[in-house]
């Protein structure tokens, strides 16, 4: 993409209406704009990141055997009366009336809708187990929308729902999602620690929140640093292996991690001091096992092997896709701007000409741009006739993993500069070796 053709409104000044660094950077680098309190438009660069995050979530859900579908944002109030949550949900639910005066709502979550869909179709034990998910916008009329997309009113969530014949099966579905979540966040280059959580109004007795450490987080957390070194893609860990999944769950629950709600001083003292980590954290995901709560309330049952009706056990599993854009920036930035992990970066390479009026520089940059694009390397090419320093400043702010800098002095000797955004390390390379490095 050429910057001269981009809608990329970069702000020089730090916006005064933003309180936390990720929100400031998202406004400054032109990722989002607020259109109403807690409601945001995603500008092209922010949208690219959102899509990358969404795609990682999707691929890991698919790999874990969940099936994607899409449910609507608008729901009928009657559905929620069946579960008893219509009144219980309170003012966070945005209630709407259609022209026939029917009560509708903008969905804050989809337990009711999917339970009803599944109830109407699933007949026998052969229809279970199943895990279904969708990635859809939600609306919660938060009392205090703040921190930009981190606590919006309209936000993008991946929510999955599992249906199993019994508790043992449902627990396996839970462990499967647990592993999928660990892998999802690892791929995004962030350390999201699974912490035992209270189930709250959704009911049930098994729940974990996935929390990313950041000073501006809303909850206080305590965890064993052993979590930081765990590799969830290690050999021997696979979805089909039930014993392995149970071991994973053991490992996760015996390694200490808790929020202020679930913190246990008695267990915390046993964590060696050098491994104690405390701080604040942002919730990026939340998984629940809640048994037959919704099945009973909404009349979901199937016929069992022996003909006797079985009431399925359920779990639900959420990831804050739009919140993650902010959370990743909270966890990965410096004074100059955002530092994107490669897997979610809007582009991989930022190509910059130091002089837009120097013919050999422009010719070399144009050719590099064509070659990078041809090799499938996502490149943002700053081809504007602007001062080099200004362009480099914007590139640092936008935070692409690599900057490829072409200037008159270097190019006279066939040399360019390759800068690693995270380390700041710069290397003088020939045009060919820079290209080889980026396309390998």
What is the binding site for ligand ATP (CB under 6 A)?
A: 109, 140, 142, 151-152, 155, 157, 283-286, 318, 320, 322-323
C-beta separation of 262 from 199 below 8 A? no
Min dist CB 166 to Mg ion, Å, is 26
Q: Which is nearer to ligand ATP, 140 or 421 (CB)?
A: 140
Min dist CB 66 to ligand ATP, Å, is 16
According to CB under 5 A, which residues from 255 to 274 bind Mg ion? none
Q: How many Å is the Cα radius of gyration of the chain?
A: 24
DSSP-derived pairing of the beta strands 130-139 and 67-68: parallel
Selection from Mg ion, ligand ATP, none that 152 binds (CB < 5 to 8 A by kind) is: ligand ATP
Number of residues that bind Mg ion (CB under 5 A): 1
Q: Which residues pair with 160 in a beta bridge?
A: 133, 317
C-beta separation of 229 from 186 below 8 A? no
Residue 33: count other Cβ atoms within 10 Å of its Cβ.
Answer: 13
Min dist CB 285 to ligand ATP, Å, is 5
What is the per-residue DSSP string for 312-378?
Answer: -EEEEEEEEHHHHHHHHHHHSEETTEE---GGG-S-SEEEEES-TT-HHHHHHHHHHHHHHHHTT--
Min dist CB 108 to ligand ATP, Å, is 8
Q: Which is nearer to ligand ATP, 277 or 323 (CB)?
A: 323
Min dist CB 269 to Mg ion, Å, is 28
Which x/- pattern over 280-299 shows residues binding Mg ion (rule: CB under 5 A)? ------x-------------
Q: Which is nearer to Mg ion, 221 or 368 (CB)?
A: 221
Burial 369-406 (b: 16+ CB within 10 A, else e): bebbeeeebebbbbbbebebeebbebbbbbbbbbbbbb
Angle at 416 between CA 410 and CA 417, to 5 degrees: 115
Min dist CB 230 to ligand ATP, Å, is 21
Q: Which is nearer to Mg ion, 288 or 294 (CB)?
A: 288
Strand (E) or helix (H) holding 69: none
Selection from ligand ATP, Mg ion, none that 419 binds (CB < 5 to 8 A by kind) is: none
Q: Which is nearer to Mg ion, 138 or 419 (CB)?
A: 138
Selection from ligand ATP, Mg ion, none that 285 binds (CB < 5 to 8 A by kind) is: ligand ATP
Selection from ligand ATP, Mg ion, none that 401 binds (CB < 5 to 8 A by kind) is: none
Min dist CB 289 to Mg ion, Å, is 14
| 48: alpha, beta or left? (left if phi > 0; alpha if psi -120 to 50) | alpha
Q: Which is nearer to Mg ion, 198 or 412 (CB)?
A: 198
Q: Which is nearer to ligand ATP, 12 or 144 (CB)?
A: 144
CA 1 to chain centre: 24
Selection from Mg ion, ligand ATP, none that 358 binds (CB < 5 to 8 A by kind) is: none
Q: Which is nearer to Mg ion, 277 or 286 (CB)?
A: 286
C-beta separation of 316 from 202 below 8 A? yes
Q: ω before 399 within 30° of 0 (cis)?
A: no
Go through the chain and tell me how many residues it has. Answer: 440
DSSP tag of 15: P
Min dist CB 320 to Mg ion, Å, is 9
Q: Which is nearer to Mg ion, 182 or 284 (CB)?
A: 284
Selection from ligand ATP, Mg ion, none that 140 binds (CB < 5 to 8 A by kind) is: ligand ATP
Min dist CB 198 to ligand ATP, Å, is 10
Binding site for Mg ion (CB under 5 A): 286
């Amino acid at each position: 993409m050429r910057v001269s053709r981009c809608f990329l409104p970069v702000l020089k000044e730090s916006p005064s209406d933003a309180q936390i660094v990720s929100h400031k950077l998202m406004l400054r680098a032109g990722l989002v704009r607020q259109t109403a309190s807690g409601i945001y438009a995603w500008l092209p660069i922010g949208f690219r990141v959102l899509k990358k995050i969404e795609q990682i979530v999707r691929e890991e859900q698919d790999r874990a055997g969940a099936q994607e579908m899409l449910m609507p944002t608008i729901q009928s109030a009657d559905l929620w009366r069946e579960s008893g949550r219509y009144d219980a949900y309170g003012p966070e639910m945005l209630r709407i009336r259609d022209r026939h005066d029917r009560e509708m709502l903008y969905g804050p979550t989809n337990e009711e809708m999917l339970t009803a869909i599944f109830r109407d179709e699933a007949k026998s034990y052969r229809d279970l187990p199943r895990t279904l998910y969708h990635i859809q916008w939600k609306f919660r009329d938060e009392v205090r929308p703040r921190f930009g997309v981190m606590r919006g009113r309209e936000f993008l969530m991946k929510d999955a729902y599992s249906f199993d014949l019994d508790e043992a099966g449902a627990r396996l579905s839970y462990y499967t999602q647990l592993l999928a979540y660990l892998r999802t966040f690892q791929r995004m280059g962030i350390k999201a620690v699974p912490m035992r959580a209270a189930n709250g109004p959704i009911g049930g007795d098994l729940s974990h929140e996935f929390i990313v450490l950041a000073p501006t987080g809303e909850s206080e957390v305590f965890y064993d640093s052993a979590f930081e070194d765990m590799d969830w893609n290690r050999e021997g860990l696979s979805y089909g292996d039930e014993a392995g999944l149970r071991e994973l769950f053991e490992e996760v629950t015996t390694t200490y991690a808790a929020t202020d709600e679930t913190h246990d001083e008695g267990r915390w003292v046993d964590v060696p001091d050098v491994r104690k980590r405390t701080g604040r954290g942002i919730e990026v995901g939340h998984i629940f096992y809640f048994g037959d709560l919704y099945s009973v309330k909404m009349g979901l049952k199937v016929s069992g092997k022996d003909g006797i009706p079985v009431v399925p056990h359920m779990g639900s599993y959420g990831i804050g896709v739009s919140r993650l854009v902010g959370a990743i920036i909270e966890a990965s930035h410096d004074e100059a701007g955002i530092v994107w992990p490669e897997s979610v970066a809007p582009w991989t390479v930022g190509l910059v000409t130091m002089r837009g009026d120097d013919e050999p520089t422009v010719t070399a940059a144009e050719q590099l741009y064509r070659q990078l694009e041809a090799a499938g390397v996502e490149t943002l090419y700053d081809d504007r006739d602007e001062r080099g320093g200004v362009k480099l400043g914007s590139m640092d702010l936008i935070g692409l993993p690599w900057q490829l800098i072409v200037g008159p002095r270097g190019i006279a000797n066939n040399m360019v500069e390759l800068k690693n955004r995270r380390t700041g390390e710069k290397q003088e390379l020939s045009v060919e070796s820079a290209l080889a490095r980026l396309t390998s």
